[in-house]
């Protein structure tokens, strides 16, 4: 079974709709992240969470919100989706090991906003 | 602020030829550097990481990268390309010493010609 799972894997929605993307992990890591990937732009950080009570904005948080329901779950919401939020979204985790962190990525959610 | 620049959005090599993917970084503090690979329809996975222990870093699947401070570079190489190496490759730099927040380059798509 995958260590980092994302649901749904694909979603098509309309402008103005509320969308939630979910991420679950079985790695036992404290830290979780949401990125979006756009062609030619690489990955950009939306939000990150170092533990259940610690949530921080990334470089492109406008139009998004997150919820860290438990150590293993980190959800990303688009309150009112717009077409330029069409992208591939990745969840990632990392552990606080005292050494250089490695991030582990989920398989991605492809979101299309019409 | 840290940043990475990947030279060439697309690189094509023949099977058996040398692979060279270029990455230059900008950092006001000693950087931590990564190469990630993304196979089609999958999330990113770590190829290798530089932690200042050694300037030549060996990764998975025969890849290696050399940290050159004087050139602010961290180019990825593989002596002999294999068809299975076709993927998108991302160079990344950490923004803090714990390396939990990572800035990604825009990616280089590697194609392998038979």
Report the pLDDT value the prediction gives residue A32, as an integer from 0 to 100.
93
CB spacing of B9 vs A40 below 8 angstroms: yes
Is residue A101 scored above 80 in pLDDT? no
- CA atoms within 13 A of residue B53's CA, in its CB half-sphere: 8
Closest listed residue to residue A45, CA positions, set A35, A54, A37? A35
Candidates A103, A105, A108: best to mutate against B (most CBs of B within 10 A) is A103
Is residue A1 scored above 70 in pLDDT? no
Where residue A2 falls among pLDDT bands split at 50, 70, 90? low
| B60 CA: distance to closest CA in chain A (Å) | 14
- Kindly report which listed range (A13-27, A52-66, A86-100, B84-98) carries the lowest average pLDDT score: A86-100
Predicted confidence (pLDDT) per residue in B5-18, tens digit: 999 999 999 999 99
Candidates A42, A57, A97, A108: best to mutate against B (most CBs of B within 10 A) is A42
Residues of chain B found within 8 Å of residue A54, distances taken between Cβ atoms? none
Backbone CA torsion sign across A25, B84, A9, A61? positive
Q: Residues of A numbered 50-69 whose beta carbons fall under 8 angstroms of chain B's beta carbons: which are they?
A: 50, 58
Candidates A2, A57, A97, A101: best to mutate against B (most CBs of B within 10 A) is A101
Whole-number Å distance between alpha carbons of B8 and A92: 26
Report the pLDDT value the prediction gives residue B40, as an integer from 0 to 100.
87
Predicted confidence (pLDDT) per residue in B45-98, tens digit: 889 988 777 889 999 899 999 999 999 999 999 999 999 999 999 999 987 656
How confident is the model over A79-104, as a mean pLDDT?
84
Predicted confidence (pLDDT) per residue in A13-22, tens digit: 999 999 999 9
Beta-carbon pairs below 8 A across chains A and B: 53
**φ and ψ at residue B35, rounded to 5 degrees:** -125, 130
């Amino acid at each position: 079974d995958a260590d980092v799972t994302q649901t749904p894997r694909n979603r098509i929605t309309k402008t103005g709709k509320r969308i939630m993307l979910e991420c679950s992990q079985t790695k036992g890591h404290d830290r979780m992240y949401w990125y979006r990937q756009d062609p030619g732009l690489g990955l950009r950080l939306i939000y990150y969470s170092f533990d259940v009570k610690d949530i921080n904005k990334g470089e492109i948080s406008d139009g998004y919100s997150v919820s860290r329901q438990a150590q293993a779950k980190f959800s990303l919401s688009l309150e009112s989706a717009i077409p330029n939020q069409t992208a591939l979204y990745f969840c990632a985790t990392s552990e606080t090991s005292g050494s250089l962190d490695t991030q582990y990525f989920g398989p991605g959610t492809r979101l299309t906003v019409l | 602020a840290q940043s990475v620049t990947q030279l060439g959005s697309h690189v094509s090599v023949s099977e058996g030829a040398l692979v060279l993917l270029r990455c230059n970084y900008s950092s006001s503090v000693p950087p931590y550097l990564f190469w990630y690979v993304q196979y089609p329809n999958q999330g990113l996975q770590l190829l290798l990481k530089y932690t200042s222990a050694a300037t030549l870093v060996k990764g998975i699947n025969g890849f290696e990268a050399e940290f050159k401070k004087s050139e602010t570079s961290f180019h990825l190489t593989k002596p002999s390309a294999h068809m299975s190496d076709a993927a998108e490759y991302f160079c990344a730099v950490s923004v803090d010493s714990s390396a939990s927040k990572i800035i990604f380059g825009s990616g280089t798509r590697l194609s392998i010609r038979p």
